[in-house]
Amino acid sequence: MKTSSQGVAEIAGHEGIVLSPYKDSVGVWTVFVGHTAAAGPPDPATLPRGVEQPLAAAIDTFRRDLAAVEQRVANAVSVPLRQHEFDALVSFDFNTGGIFRARLTKLLNAGDRARAAAAFDGWRKPPEIAGRREAEKRLFRDGTYGHSGRASLYPADAAGNILWSRGRRVDVLALMASAGTPASAADPATGTGVPRPPAAIPAPPRVTPPERQPDDPGPEAPAPRSGGRPALRLVLPLLAIVAVAGGIAALVRRGLRAARTGVASIIRRVF
């Protein structure tokens, strides 16, 4: 199964497109559509800073990165998927790399689609990723694509800072067509779309980095236990009190016996 054209555009819409290397919010060198060295060549840290790479290279790398993620999703999921569900899962794994360990995958494979959709909410770190998780959940559950086939294209300076104010909106499918890359063989829709003129972005969204520490304990996380050590902490002092009281009682009994013995001895001497 392959990502649909709408799905390709959706992921690009989440990630943004930057043709020169930049540092994401956690300091990882990134380029093109969320590409890092962890996904394979090219290594963004070795590319010339502040120099835009060819669009064809960006699209080529994006499709290669997507193909690897598509295979991961296919290997992780054991139930049939609708196209929009597959697109949502590819977007999720492209961003998090968590498809194999995610609770949502376990729930989906168990046939519980409703709880699988809700489990997207378990992956909301860092906080700026929450909007993307919500969009992926909506796409998985309802088939709603939120970016209308468009993404933000930004330049970056030699220090690796994205120049947000110079961003513009672009038609992703038209960009792919101009780069000579088909959007997706799996998409039965209207081909690559009609190119639209770029528009200024009054408030460009941030390019979201991959999540480093997903907040997804999974179903195997142990539930909090009642009793146990907290109860033991209450019982031990009580036992100590009982032991002390018992010791005092024993001393009192020995004292009384000694007193009785002494009194009896005195009486015998007197009489």
Residues 135 and 235 in one domain: no
Q: Please list, residue by residue across 160-171, b when 16 or more beta carbons sit within 10 angstroms of its beta carbon and e when fewer do.
A: bebebeebebbb
118 token code pair: 């809700």
Residues 103 and 237 in one domain: no
Which is higher by pLDDT, 224 or 50?
A: 50
Residues 188 and 231 in one domain: no
Would you state the pLDDT for residue 125? 85
CA dist., res. 266 & res. 189, Å (int): 117
DSSP 248: H
Q: Is the residue at 258 inside a domain?
A: yes
Whose CA is closest to 172, among 54, 57, 12, 35?
12
Q: How many CA atoms lie within 13 A of 188 on its CB side?
A: 2
Domain that residue 173 falls in: 5-200
Quote the number of domains for the chain: 2
Residues 66 and 132 in one domain: yes
Domain boundary among 200, 216, 241: 200
CA dist., res. 164 & res. 267, Å (int): 108
Q: How many CB atoms lie within 10 A of CB 227?
A: 7
Residues 128 and 251 in one domain: no
Would you state the pLDDT for residue 208? 39
Domain boundary among 167, 200, 233: 200
Max CA pair span of the chain: 130
259 — pLDDT class (breaks 50, 70, 90): low
pTM for the model:
0.65
Which is higher by pLDDT, 79 or 174?
A: 79
Would you state the pLDDT for residue 206? 36
Which is higher by pLDDT, 203 or 92?
A: 92
CA dist., res. 114 & res. 177, Å (int): 36
Over residues 61-77, the pLDDT tens digits come to 998 999 999 999 999 99
Q: How many CB atoms lie within 10 A of CB 15?
A: 24
Domain boundary among 200, 234, 263: 200
The C-alpha angle 16, 103, 129, rounded to 5 degrees, equals: 25
Would you state the pLDDT for residue 202? 32
170 token code pair: 């672009």
Residues 37 and 164 in one domain: yes
DSSP 226: S
CA dist., res. 13 & res. 206, Å (int): 11
